[in-house]
């Protein structure tokens, strides 16, 4: 009798936080869950910050998850997310975290579909959200290779 071999899904996440301890803690959690993780202390260091269009316009999402702090240098997390959506980003799993939310910021984040995390939050709350997100991700989806030379040829 042959056993069916289930292919393990690798997820991709972008993490933005100017606090290195938080960035590293989230990286560790995602890495342990077999994520390909790209971390940045602020959106200005992400190559997509300067792109005119998100690589998602190729019908291949650039990432499965975007998890961003709200208040960072160069660009607020919410402003970066709104700009990415305007550029055509198709990532459906976006969360913003902060310990200093205004009602207006929280309302804007919710209106564009962001999950809200209020710092400090328990890691189990993040794990629960990741479980929900992973259950929704199409296992056969393709992700764009926005950082590789191949992507530049596809433009």
106 vs 88: which has the higher pLDDT = 106
Question: pLDDT tens digits, residue range 30-64?
Answer: 999 999 999 999 888 877 777 777 766 566 888 99
Considering the entire predicted model, what is its pTM? 0.85
Tell me the pLDDT tens digit for each residue of 56-105. 656 688 899 999 999 998 889 999 999 999 988 889 999 999 999 999 99
Asked if residues 37 and 13 have their Cβ atoms less than 8 Å apart, the reply is yes
151: tokens are 């992507």
What is the band of 147 on the pLDDT scale with cuts at 50, 70, 90? low
Q: What mean pLDDT is predicted for residues 5-32?
A: 90
Q: Give the pLDDT band of residue 149 (cuts 50, 70, 90).
A: very low
């Amino acid at each position: 009798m042959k056993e069916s071999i289930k292919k393990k899904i690798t997820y991709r996440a972008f993490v933005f936080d100017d606090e290195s301890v938080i960035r590293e803690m989230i990286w560790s959690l995602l890495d342990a869950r077999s994520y390909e993780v790209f971390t940045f202390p602020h959106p200005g260091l992400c190559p997509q910050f300067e792109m005119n269009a998100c690589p998602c316009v190729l019908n291949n999402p650039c990432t499965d998850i975007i998890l961003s702090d709200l208040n960072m240098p160069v660009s607020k997390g919410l402003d970066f997310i709104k700009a990415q959506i305007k550029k055509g980003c198709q990532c459906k799993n976006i969360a913003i975290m902060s310990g200093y939310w205004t009602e207006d910021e929280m309302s804007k984040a919710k209106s564009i579909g962001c999950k809200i995390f209020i710092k400090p939050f328990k890691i189990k709350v993040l794990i629960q959200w990741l479980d929900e997100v992973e259950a929704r991700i199409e296992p056969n989806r393709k992700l764009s290779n926005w950082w590789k030379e191949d992507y530049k040829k596809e433009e």
